[in-house]
Amino acid sequence: DTGVSQNPRHKITKRGQNVTFRCDPISEHNRLYWYRQTLGQGPEFLTYFQNEAQLEKSRLLSDRFSAERPKGSFSTLEIQRTEQGDSAMYLCASSTIGTPSSYEQYFGPGTRLTVT
Amino acid sequence: AQKVTQAQTEISVVEKEDVTLDCVYETRDTTYYLFWYKQPPSGELVFLIRRNSFDEQNEISGRYSWNFQKSTSSFNFTITASQVVDSAVYFCALGINFGNEKLTFGTGTRLTIIP
Residue-wise pLDDT tens digits, A20-51: 999 999 998 889 999 999 999 999 999 999 99
Taking 3-state DSSP, the helix, strand and coil percentages for chain B, each rounded to the nearest 5, stand at: 10, 55, 40
Per-residue pLDDT tens digits of chain B, which is 115 residues long: 889 999 999 999 999 999 999 999 999 988 888 999 999 988 899 999 988 888 888 888 899 999 999 999 999 999 999 999 999 999 999 998 665 578 999 999 999 999 9
Asked whether residue A97 carries a pLDDT value surpassing 90, the answer given is no
Asked whether residue A1 carries a pLDDT value surpassing 60, the answer given is no
> Which positions in chain B touch A91 (Cβ < 8 Å)?
45
Distance CA A114, CA A112 (A): 7
> Which positions in chain A touch B33 (Cβ < 8 Å)?
103
